[in-house]
Structure 1
Amino acid sequence: MHILTYFGDSMLLIPTAVIMALLLRWKNDDRRAVWFWLLAFGCAGAVVSISKIAFLGFGIGSVRFNFTGFSGHSAMSATLWPVMLWLLTGRLARGWRLAALATGYLIPLLVGISRLALDAHSPSEVISGLLLGYTLSSAFLIAQRGMRPHGFSLAQLAVALLLPVLLFSQGRVATTQQFLQRLSAQLAGIEQPWTRADLLNQRR
């Protein structure tokens, strides 16, 4: 499960998103695609961060749905992987492209399942995160439906994937959650950020 969940870790996804922006500039004739992609990925990160700060700093969540903010792993992976596999397989036969796209949508689902298995999130947080990410990636792909990225040679593909593969092999985890906890407490002027236990204690 830890391997699956790493497919949604910011340590892997943020550098990969930057590489994708460079590849879109290089391999796509639509020059707006870079900005569309940065907007989509940035929106996912912003919405996730705002939801977490709202809870961690101000206790804004849902007791009924056990909701403390969007699952970042689910949202960010659902934004990135469908677009990345579309980009890398743009010049393959239709069947291969469809299979790659289906894989791009499947990976985030497995990430979400891993977050539940690791007890890192509630079902509402994973489902909302997936819906957010899938909406953004699908909006990007619909906007690009008339475009097909140029193909990659094996050497180009190896270079493009070098950094993501190295990051995955090292398995270093981002400290985004800890940063948001400190930031939220400072913004709210409290000593300790809110926790899930604090939220659920409101039921009593």
Structure 2
Amino acid sequence: MTSAPQVAPVWWLITHLGSSSLLLPAFGLLVWGLWRSGARAVARHYVLAMSAAVLLTVVSKCLFYGWGIGIAALDFTGISGHGLLASAVLPLLLRGLPGSRAYRWGPALGVGLALVVGVSRVMVGAHSVSEVLAAWLLGLAVSWPVVQRLQTVVVAHWATRFSPLLLVLALHTSTATYLPTHALEVRIALWLSGQVQPFTRHQLHQSPAALPKPARP
């Protein structure tokens, strides 16, 4: 992560809308609602697609934190987790808003809000443009096929109706950040690589001779 300068509080509020502490429980409610509504094939597709996207995101981060593998020309150190979850969950989460049954403005609002969450990650100094763009596109590859498949399916379970209320918890920082997913990713990367400290964005742009040597077993 890069150090963030003075940032308007609104950007921190928006960035919490992509927090795993909120969107992973929301994802669970969505899957449960789909399953209980009889859309079990869609629920399975959603779970498998999300699992693959999360795995790819974690691997991209661990490769950088543990081994310094990134793309300096793009300022890329790993896919944004907030950006991924936002674009993978919000289009379906907001689909359940009252009045959005025509599958128009609910999912579209989710796509746009996910993009704003990505912008917030850049504004708070957590990610680069390339990282949030990759996350946004990957998340849409997860959510949008599900949105399309649900156009012919009636989903009326209470879990899909009320799950958007979880976003209100973004107003409370400690509630929106109680899952230390970033710290867990760093610990996994260090454990696998044997490094003592994670690689940083600054090191990505240094010459290879200035980088620390890989730890020996």
Report if TM-score (shorter chain) is over 0.5: yes
Aligned counterpart in structure 2 of residue 125 of structure 1, from 121, 131, 139: 131
Change (3 A) 1:141 1:156: closer
8 Å Cα contact 2:34-2:157 kept in structure 1 = no
- Matching residue of 1:65: 74
Which string of whole-angstrom CA distances, capped at 9 and with x for unpartnered residues, describes residues 24-80 of structure 1? 1123x3221221121122222111101001111111101111100011111111000
8 Å Cα contact 1:85-1:104 kept in structure 2 = yes
- Matching residue of 2:45: 36
**C-alpha displacement of 1:199:** 0.7
Displaced runs of 4 or more, over 4 A: 89-93
8 Å Cα contact 2:107-2:147 kept in structure 1 = no
Aligned counterpart in structure 2 of residue 197 of structure 1, from 177, 195, 202: 202
Change (3 A) 1:31 1:191: same
- Matching residue of 1:56: 65
SS at match of 1:148: coil
SS at match of 1:125: helix
Are positions 1:180 and 2:199 aligned together?
Answer: no
C-alpha RMSD of matched pairs (Å): 2.4
Which string of whole-angstrom CA distances, capped at 9 and with x for unpartnered residues, describes residues 94-129 of structure 1? 2xx311121111110110111111111111101111
Change (3 A) 1:48 1:202: same
User: Counterparts of 1:56-135 in structure 2 under 5 Å?
Assistant: 56-86=65-95, 88-89=96-97, 94=102, 97-135=103-141
Residue identity (%) = 28
8 Å Cα contact 2:66-2:190 kept in structure 1 = yes
TM-score w.r.t. structure 2 length?
Answer: 0.81
State the distance in 2 between where 1:82 and 1:194 align. Answer: 34
